[in-house]
Amino acid sequence: MSSEADDFGSNTKSLHFLLVPMMAQGHMIPMVDLAKLLAARGALVTFATTPVNLARIQTTIDGVTASALPIRFVELQFPTIDVGLPDGCENADLIPSAELFVPFMNALSLLRRPLEAHLQDPDLTQWPKPSCLISDNLQHWTADVARTLNIPRLIFHGPSCFFLLCDLLINRHRVELEVALEEKSSGSFMLPEISHPIRINKHEVTSVMGSDPSWSKYMESVRAAEESADGVLVNSFVELEQWYFERYQQATGKPVWPVGPLSLYKEELNTKETRGRVSSIDSKILFQWLDKQKVGSVVLVSFGSIVRNTIAQLMELGYGLEASGRSFIWVVKEVEERQVLGVEEWMKKFENRVEGRGMVIRGWAPQTLILEHVAVGGFVTHCGWNSTLEAIAAGVVMATWPHLYDQFLNEQLVVDVLKIGVAVGIEEPKLHDLWDDNEMAVKVKRGEVEKVLERLMGGGEEGDERRERAKEIKEKARMAMEEGGSSWKGLQDAINYVLESRQK
């Protein structure tokens, strides 16, 4: 360990971080990595979430126990039934319909009481009082908890600084942008305060939830809690997006510490295999198949934990993959979940036709391990930030297929700024967010899937240059997480900030 870490090493052992993640896979997974990183530096960590989410990461909890990392996992009861949510609806990917999304987000603050009860539990006196609260920015109610405890609060932000900066500027200039929107019913906008063009579409300016007053109130609380936070941790690395990182830091006026890519946290294979939840495929079969494929020849197709495609889109994508002649792994959640008549049969026939060349994983895949396998050369992704960063960390080029929220801006970063991806060509988000009513809707035809795969996996000189750039960025990502690297230092600086604020 370097002298800088040594100086603080023994003091770090006296720190106790209380982590409160958002209950969604894209937020929970990196926060578990963050907990391990903090504990590996010697700090005590309490990781507080609900029973369903703890059950999903039981293998990780077992791994932590076996490795004696000082992390305590604490169960907070989430009163779903009291607020009209189905029993056990404790993660965003379990919300069954669009109308329940806002009630789910509003119910998050009900975690405050069980958390405070935990903090007052006399049985816990062998651990010191928390010295810092790190919460997902969506868990705004934690601001009051930190205030009561009189400790610093850091926000953990999922997305890229590119997105965070744009989002912050959109909020700052919302009135002007809305006027511009009235004058121009479609197309994109230039973002004020940024000297180079960034496309901002209507859907990025208007709230994803329309004018729902309860959503606006929720977002106001999120912004207020963001403003009162002491600092921000981002799952990114400076070398990836330095300009945006610096501007974002200036715009917030508070310390921003890069700590990613968190997926590069080194750990034993078996816990990476169950990152997020237990995999739906026997990893022996999966990796035996991958080991037989040529280097860089396989494309992974996956849309994260929340996004669902319509059944018609699913089939269209399948036909495109089949026609492409490429080897692929396709992660499909929809067939089991929807039980639409005839889909199961369609999928079985499809699997028979592509046998040997394509593999379908129904449910949860060990995504980071697949991306890191040498046989994998391309990734068709919805551009969720974790998936994007995991591909970056693995040096894999992307075909970008955004569906909602930050995914459109993440696409711009990947395709236009970093130039390590090709766009599938989606212009608008889904109308009703996560759930499409019309199962027959198709946005991307099979011919377009075929074309984009050709550009991604082949693409001539342009394709080679893209792959070359992706490999260079991968090396920078690895260096950022190594001891002494920018993200390694970022985490150390955040720890030092807490140590110093305790001395004040």
Give the Cα separation of 382 and 384 in Å (integer): 6
Report the residue number, 91 or 486, with the smaller CB distance to ligand UDP. Answer: 91
CB of 115 to ligand UDP, least distance (A): 23
Report the residue number, 365 or 494, with the smaller CB distance to ligand UDP. Answer: 365
CB of 497 to ligand UDP, least distance (A): 26
Report the residue number, 27 or 41, with the smaller CB distance to ligand UDP. Answer: 27
- DSSP helix/strand/coil, 29: helix
- Residue 329 has phi, psi (to 5 degrees) of -120, 125
Tokens of 479: 């260096």
* Amino acid letter, residue 173: H
- DSSP helix/strand/coil, 180: helix
Report the residue number, 143 or 392, with the smaller CB distance to ligand UDP. Answer: 392
Helix (H) or strand (E) holding 153, with range, is: strand 153-157
Report the residue number, 80 or 305, with the smaller CB distance to ligand UDP. Answer: 305
The answer to whether the CB of 305 falls within 8 A of the CB of 276 is yes
CB of 257 to ligand UDP, least distance (A): 20
H-helix segments, 141-266: 142-149, 161-172, 174-183, 202-205, 213-228, 242-252
CB of 281 to ligand UDP, least distance (A): 10
Among residues 476, 446, 427, 497, the alpha carbon closest in space to that of 187 is found at 427
Give the Cα separation of 240 and 485 in Å (integer): 13
Count Cβ atoms below 10 Å from residue 414 Cβ, excluding itself.
Answer: 27
Tokens of 200: 């901002």
The answer to whether the CB of 13 falls within 8 A of the CB of 43 is yes
CB of 298 to ligand UDP, least distance (A): 16
Give the Cα separation of 484 and 340 in Å (integer): 52
Report the Cα 301 to chain-centroid distance in Å.
16
Classify the C-alpha dihedral 439-444-446-450 as positive or negative: negative
Q: Which residues lie near ligand UDP (CB under 6 A)?
A: 24-26, 29, 275-276, 302, 304-307, 331, 364-365, 367-368, 384-387, 390
Tokens of 385: 């930030």
CB of 107 to ligand UDP, least distance (A): 19
Report the residue number, 307 or 321, with the smaller CB distance to ligand UDP. Answer: 307
Count Cβ atoms below 10 Å from residue 250 Cβ, excluding itself.
Answer: 10
Helix (H) or strand (E) holding 408, with range, is: helix 407-412
Report the residue number, 8 or 364, with the smaller CB distance to ligand UDP. Answer: 364
Helix (H) or strand (E) holding 351, with range, is: helix 343-353
CB of 373 to ligand UDP, least distance (A): 14
CB of 488 to ligand UDP, least distance (A): 21
Q: 339: phi > 0 → left, psi -120 to 50 → alpha, else beta; which?
A: left
Report the residue number, 141 or 401, with the smaller CB distance to ligand UDP. Answer: 401
Give the Cα separation of 223 and 217 in Å (integer): 10
CB of 262 to ligand UDP, least distance (A): 9
CB of 304 to ligand UDP, least distance (A): 3
Report the residue number, 338 or 445, with the smaller CB distance to ligand UDP. Answer: 338
Q: Which residue has the tokens 């009162």?
A: 228
